Structure 1
Amino acid sequence: MLLITVILPSEYGIDPSGVGRVLRLTEMGEIKTQLAAEAAADASVDAQSNGASASPSPTQAPAVAANRGAPAVALPAPVPTQATWKDEERFTLPPGQGIEIKLVMKQGAKAEYAWVVNGGVVNYDTHGDGGGKSISYEKGRGVQKDEGVLTADFTGNHGWFWRNRSPANVEVVLRTRGDYSQLKRVQ
């Protein structure tokens, strides 16, 4: 009796055996597939609004316009911290919208961050680019908050892309401090 087995890579969202889900590789594939679909949708919208048909390169994060004039969501009282934050950015994301915030950092620089979503959850991608290099540090789906230290693998722009996949507006509050020269919204 001859038995042939085919193992498909669950990190691409294909997992008929279920082993990828047990090893948490399927979740990674689902996030990767969803982020790729979001980037393609953003490129399509940008191309239609610009009258061109351009698609982002695989190392380029999708550019998203900041949402201006959206209603603000009331925030809970701030939690006292031992040290003050250097920067704080607040923005409202309507359903389906995203935003990208980057820190300009030198290789090896460290920046502490904490972000929280008021009124829901977001999908996010923490990544960096610059000097012909790109890196993905961490991705998440359906997350309400995150905090930590971002260490720049190379000199360039390092930060976050958030997308609201919920049916209601959400507000994201990002607080940062550390070794960076600028915090900027990527348009």
Structure 2
Amino acid sequence: MFNTPLPTVNELPSTRQLVRSTVIALLTALGLLVTVVMPSEYAVDPTGVGRALGLTQMGELKIILAQEALADAAPPQAAAPAPQIAEVKPAVQPAAQPVAKLDPALKTDQMTVTLKPGEGKEVKLEVLKNKTVSYEWTATGGPLNYDTHGEPYNGEKGYFHSYDKGKQVKSNKGQFTAKFDGTHGWFWRNRSNNDVTISLKATGDYLGVKQ
């Protein structure tokens, strides 16, 4: 039988060494929390490191996926009937209006996105408050669930403004006027068993595309 000798007092770490090791461990854990855990799980990135590493985008996508799952679980609401508007014919045929010229400051982008079964993706535009964007998209291969929404720069976690959304739709077009400075665009979810390709065209006064 062997007895392990007990360490001497000189071999034990001092109180100063223990405090130093504890402080280093706490600072390391805090750094990982701020730069990795918070951006990737909650889309909170106070340092900017998470966005540079692509972790903040992961957190934003998790939030959108959770919101989309909640929307799928909610019972569908019946659409209100459109009001009937009486047609009024003018007594005099109005003169032809000149064709408006397209504002050279407006941008136009066309892009395609392919979703595998069960996959969700989004395309965002950077748009300033009160600027308008017109869009049209079509889905080839099957219908999609979608949500057209916007998120303000440095907004509260999980906050977004929805402009339009739908389920099992093969195409959609319209326009939105930004409620605030931020990223505005589309999130799609493929609930079918086939790959679905989206063709999107956007025209308007925006700064750029984020995909």
Q: How many residue pairs end up in the alignment?
A: 117
| 1:87 maps to which of 86, 109, 112 | 109
Partners of 1:106 and 1:152 within 8 A in 2? yes
Report the Cα distance in structure 1 between the residues aligned to 2:135 and 2:150, rounded to whole angstroms.
Answer: 15
Partners of 1:85 and 1:175 within 8 A in 2? no
Q: Which amino acid aligns with 2:184?
A: H
Report the Cα distance in structure 2 between the residues aligned to 1:100 and 1:136, rounded to whole angstroms.
Answer: 14
The secondary structure found in structure 1 opposite 2:150 is strand
Residue of structure 1 in register with 2:149 after alignment: 127
Identity of aligned residues (%): 39
Partners of 2:121 and 2:188 within 8 A in 1? yes
The secondary structure found in structure 2 opposite 1:86 is strand
4+ long deviations beyond 4 Å = 50-53, 82-85
Report the Cα distance in structure 1 between the residues aligned to 2:145 and 2:205, rounded to whole angstroms.
Answer: 26
Query: Where in structure 1 are there 5+ consecutive unaligned residues?
Result: 1-49, 65-81
**C-alpha displacement of 1:144:** 0.4
Higher strand proportion (structure 1 or 2): 1
**C-alpha displacement of 1:92:** 1.1
| 1:109 maps to which of 81, 106, 131 | 131
Report the Cα distance in structure 1 between the residues aligned to 2:42 and 2:202, rounded to whole angstroms.
Answer: 31
Matches within 5 A, 1:136-175: 136-175=162-201
Residue of structure 2 in register with 1:69 after alignment: none
Report the Cα distance in structure 1 between the residues aligned to 2:209 and 2:42, rounded to whole angstroms.
Answer: 26
Report the Cα distance in structure 1 between the residues aligned to 2:60 and 2:164, rounded to whole angstroms.
Answer: 14
When the two chains are superposed, the root-mean-square deviation of aligned CA atoms in Å is 3.0
Q: Which amino acid aligns with 2:114?
A: T
Residue of structure 1 in register with 2:206 after alignment: 180
**C-alpha displacement of 1:62:** 2.0
What's the TM-score, normalizing by structure 1? Answer: 0.55
Residue of structure 1 in register with 2:140 after alignment: 118
Residue of structure 1 in register with 2:61 after alignment: 62
Partners of 2:137 and 2:171 within 8 A in 1? yes
Bigger radius of gyration among the two: 2
**C-alpha displacement of 1:165:** 0.4
Show CA shifts across 1:15-54 (max 9, x none).
xxxxxxxxxxxxxxxxxxxxxxxxxxxxxxxxxxx99993
